[in-house]
């Protein structure tokens, strides 16, 4: 994998579609994924959202945030007055990592080494898209964007990511909301929508 990455880095992509072609041709670092899942959304999108990795549905469909977590994200974006179609959505890691349990494919968290492997792509991707604001959804996204592990509860809110040309914002991952006990979900979802409202206000501010 290290050699594959070095070979890939030598092939500096000239555009987002070049980069996505490289991503689609790449082998998963951990074998098993059906296909790579590149980001989605318009070049020049003012806001980019970075998740962890594709889930089961994303792996089957080849598109980010189309499964249960993605649907929750869509609903929260709409409630916060943000148009999903105008945002750029991507993941820190571009392949689904899972463990098979019977017929089910259970999500496995990517290791720090795996996140580091995909960082080169993520940086270039965001460079081509050029968002003013990048929202890290959960700890894996923060690690991918900053190289550091930070507890979300402490870092939640506006953030500066060292050396990046965009404003940052840190919030929870929508899958975290789905995993909470039902009694805690309503409040946590409300806080997530509040965060997205702040994201919306911040994007308007950064636009000036």
Tell me which residues touch ligand URA (CB under 6 A): 51-55, 58, 64-65, 67, 69-70, 91, 175
Minimum CB separation of residue 3 from ligand URA in Å reads 27
Nearer to ligand URA, 41 or 64 (CB): 64
* Closer to ligand URA by Cβ: residue 51 or 168: 51
User: Closest separation between CB of residue 12 and ligand URA, Å?
Assistant: 26
| Least distance (Å) between residue 170 CB and ligand URA | 14
Nearest approach in angstroms of CB 158 to ligand URA is 21
* CA 169 – CA 199 distance, rounded (Å): 7
Output the CA torsion 66→69→73→75 (10° steps): 80
74 in Cβ contact with 65 (< 8 Å):
yes
- Residue whose Cβ sits closest to ligand URA: 51
Could you write out the DSSP letters of every residue in 77-92? HHHTT--GGGSEEEES
User: Which residue lies nearer to ligand URA by CB, 14 or 122?
Assistant: 122
- Per DSSP, the three-state class of 53 is coil
Closest CA to 173 of 95, 92, 69, 37: 69
Give 116 or 206: the residue with its C-beta nearer to ligand URA: 116
């Amino acid at each position: 994998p290290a050699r594959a990455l070095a070979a890939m880095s030598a092939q500096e992509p000239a555009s987002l579609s070049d980069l996505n072609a490289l991503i689609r041709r790449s082998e998963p670092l951990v074998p098993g994924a059906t296909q790579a899942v590149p980001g989605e959304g318009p070049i020049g999108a003012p806001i980019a959202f970075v998740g962890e990795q594709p889930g089961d549905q994303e792996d089957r469909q080849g598109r980010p945030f189309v499964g249960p977590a993605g649907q929750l994200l869509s609903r929260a974006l709409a409630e916060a007055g943000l148009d999903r179609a105008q945002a750029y959505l991507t993941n820190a890691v571009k392949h689904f990592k899972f463990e098979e349990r019977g017929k089910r494919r259970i999500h496995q968290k990517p290791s720090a080494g795996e996140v580091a492997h995909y960082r080169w792509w993520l940086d270039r991707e965001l460079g081509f898209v050029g968002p003013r604001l990048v929202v890290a959804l959960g700890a894996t996204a923060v690690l991918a964007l900053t190289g550091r592990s930070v507890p979300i509860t402490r870092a939640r809110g506006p953030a500066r990511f060292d050396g990046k040309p965009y404003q940052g914002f840190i919030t929870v991952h929508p899958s975290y909301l789905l995993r909470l006990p039902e009694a805690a979900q309503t409040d946590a979802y409300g806080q997530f929508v509040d965060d997205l409202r702040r994201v919306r206000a911040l994007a308007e501010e950064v636009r000036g």
